[in-house]
Amino acid sequence: MVLVMVSMMINACQPKPVVPATEPPPPAEQPTPTNAGIQAVDDGAPLVPEIIEQDPARGMELALSGEISLTFSLPMDTEKTSAAWEMKGPAEKVIEGEISWISDREMRFAPDSPLEPASRYSIVVSTDAASEEGVNLVEPVLLEFITSGELEVSQVFPTPDTKDVSNDAVITVIFNRPVVPLVISEEESKLPKPVSITPTTPGKGAWVNTSIYAFQSDEPLIGDTTYSITVQAGLEDAVEETQLAADYSWSFTTAAPGIESLELGSGVVNPEDNYKNLLLDEYFRLHFLQPMDPQSTESSLALIDDQGESAELINQWSQDFTQLVITPTERLELGTQYSLNLDQAALASDGGALKSGLVWNFTTVPAPSIISISPANNTIQENYSTELRIQFASPMNIDTVKERILVTPQPDDDIEWWYQEWDYSFASYILSPSTRYTVQFLPGMEDIYGNKIEQGMTARFTTAAQPPSAYLQMPYEPILMRPDGPQDFYAYYRNAQSISLQIYEITAEQMVSFMTGDQSAYEYMPSEATRIWQQEEDSSASLNVPVLNSYTPLTSGGEPLPAGFYFLGMDAEGVQKYNPWVDNRLLIVANTNLTFKTTSTDTLVWLTDLTSGRPVARAGIGIYDKEMRLVGEGITDQDGILALEVPHQKSLMIHDLRSAAVGMCLPSLPARVTAV
């Protein structure tokens, strides 16, 4: 069809040939109709009329005016169709009204009197309704509506009877239907103001949309006061059909004037009473629940030391008088107890008294001193750690501390200190195992205010030996080896009295189970009958000296391990372990390599020699699922290839039947799989 249309467009753009007037054009050939083999559905009979649109639409409320319009799919016989209309209301009362036709397809009904609110009405258009061609409706049409209910208040904020409401709350009323039309901002003043508030509250009200009204007071609401709000009866909806039948009233109570939180300049919010180690240059911030009267609040505020002396304060208010920053004019005294007090006589800006005052006690940081050393003086470590930690009683000047700590024996590298501000501690990770240390703290260390530690001190301690440890110096995934290649591996241990290395044969089924996670290799306890190699070794190394040795497993006949699957376990006396083995690995000794590809229906296997890379011909290959059920088998061709029709499995295993070679294709492994 596209080619035909393009051809026609090209021909239309070509210049038309001039035909001599004496020669009439030859008659056009009539195309021969082609039977497309499609049965004709339209037999030419008149169509059946249907209602294709209604207003109000299905599920919408019917206005109390009751006007309903129907649109048909075909021009209708208006007389028959009008006679087929019947509308009933509550108690099956027939609703009389006038039917008019906007066109021969659109019918409109208007009842003689308004309908009842929140009532169910039904309309039946019987099969007597017919099109102009005389075709009747196939079946009666039933339409059901519910008329608009009374205007109601659906929700209000603050919710009724709420206590401790914020003094900046917005009073909001949500109606169940539109109350006002959409208007431009210049006409908003003409819209109704539906709420009255007691006590009288100046403010601004606005319609957020056609059914939500919000009121914001000009000043914060009065604290500890019950507000009553009424939406008066008689408020009409936007189309003036329904009214609010009765007054809707509710009330709420505002929060009493109070302190929302105390915040320290360091960022701590609502610190506990009897707070310790407050900085000497700290300031305080009080957050109030409502605007406060500055004069009465400041006159009720005091910062008093343990001698009863009041500190001079600088007070700074936020613009809305809900926050007060309190700053002592002089630095506080070291190691002194203070009390920050705000009496209940402090008044809110509306004259309300505080619900409760503030009494907060704290103690400032003490004079600088060393309060703990780890490792402690005259001790021997129980468990080895490289950390040397010194904790001070107060925040310190780092530069004056680092240069006054002398460690003997001195570490090979420069000491790097880490300072923790939360507990005023210095830490460095320099301690060697099994070593006697002397740490000197010289006088002259200063806190951040310049106060000095006048007396020096010395600490002596001995570090513990490193804990016994042992592990296999090998990758964690299964280790691939060759029968004719290197099979040695490495084991590491330190402070272990002896180690034991053992290798056991495992089956292909066990290997699959370990690799898929069905069985844990860490919990595996092999049978002694499957052990093919074992080596015990007593340690002759000095304390804390690590040992890394290589080991070459051999069979009882002194030969390298043959092709197969193996479990290597390591144990060490004195080393803590949580499984049967200190460490373990899975070994695969392989002489061939399998490349494995699958589709939803086919499987392709390519078998090559692991050393030469040449194809391995006439090798028996078995393909198994995860449960080791045989799903396909065959013999490789001269190119080492075997193609089978095997349904796609989530997990497959390939078994070289000739040389006991095995490979796997698992969701967690790549498509190219190494096999024994």
Tens-place pLDDT, residues 224-281: 899 999 999 999 988 888 889 999 999 999 999 999 999 999 999 999 999 999 999 9
**How many CA atoms lie less than 13 Å away from 461 in the CB half-sphere?**
25
pLDDT at 39: 54
- Strands 141-146 and 195-198 come out as unpaired
Average of per-residue pLDDT across 520-536:
95
Q: What pLDDT digit, counting tens, does each position of 548-592 carry?
A: 999 999 999 999 999 999 999 999 999 999 999 999 999 999 888
Q: What pLDDT digit, counting tens, does each position of 357-394 carry?
A: 999 999 999 999 999 999 999 999 999 999 999 999 99
pLDDT at 18: 41
Q: How much is the mean pLDDT over the chain?
A: 88
- Could you tell me how many helices (H) and strands (E) the chain has, helices first? 5, 46
**Burial code of 625-643, b = ≥16 C-beta within 10 A, e = fewer?**
bbeeeeebebebeeebebe
Distances (CA, A) of 121 to 65, 68, 147, 172, 403: 13, 12, 8, 34, 94
Provide the CATH topology of domain 469-589. Answer: Immunoglobulin-like (2.60.40)
Q: Is 334 exposed, middle or buried, given 0-12, 13-18 or 19+ CB atoms closer than 10 A?
A: middle
Instruction: List, in order, residues 6 or more apart from 133 with CB less than 8 Å away.
Output: 46, 74
pLDDT at 19: 39
**CATH number of 592-674: 1.10.10.10, 1.10.3720.10, 3.40.50.1370, 2.60.40.10?**
2.60.40.10
Asked if domains 259-364 and 370-462 share a fold, the reply is yes
Name the class of domain 153-253: mainly beta
pLDDT at 671: 27
pLDDT at 672 over 60: no
Q: Average the pLDDT over each of 7-11, 220-224, 601-605 and give the range with the smallest value.
A: 7-11
Q: What pLDDT digit, counting tens, does each position of 288-312 carry?
A: 999 999 999 999 999 999 999 999 9
Instruction: Please state which CATH number belongs to domain 51-146.
Output: 2.60.40.3710
pLDDT at 555: 94
pLDDT at 673 over 60: no
pTM as predicted? 0.59
Domain boundaries, the chain: 51-146, 153-253, 259-364, 370-462, 469-589, 592-674
User: Between 663 and 374, where is the model more confident?
Assistant: 374
Q: What pLDDT digit, counting tens, does each position of 321-358 carry?
A: 999 999 999 999 999 999 999 999 999 998 888 989 99
Q: What pLDDT digit, counting tens, does each position of 387-418 carry?
A: 999 999 999 999 999 999 999 999 999 999 99
pLDDT at 478 over 80: yes
Distances (CA, A) of 5 to 1, 16, 156, 587: 6, 18, 66, 71
pLDDT at 22 over 50: no
Instruction: List, in order, residues 6 or more apart from 198 with CB less than 8 Å away.
Output: 227, 228, 229, 230
Range 370-462: architecture per CATH: Sandwich (2.60)
Instruction: Please state which CATH number belongs to domain 259-364.
Output: 2.60.40.1220
The helix or strand, by DSSP H or E, that contains position 512, with its residue range, turns out to be helix 508-516
Q: What pLDDT digit, counting tens, does each position of 151-194 carry?
A: 999 999 999 999 999 888 999 999 998 999 988 878 888 899 99
d(CA 344, CA 302): 12
pLDDT confidence bin for 438, thresholds 50/70/90: very high
Assess contact for 417 and 428: CB atoms under 8 A: yes
> 3-state SS string over 405-449?
EEEECCCCCCCCCEEECCCCEEEEECCCCCCEEEEEECCCCEECC
pLDDT confidence bin for 652, thresholds 50/70/90: low
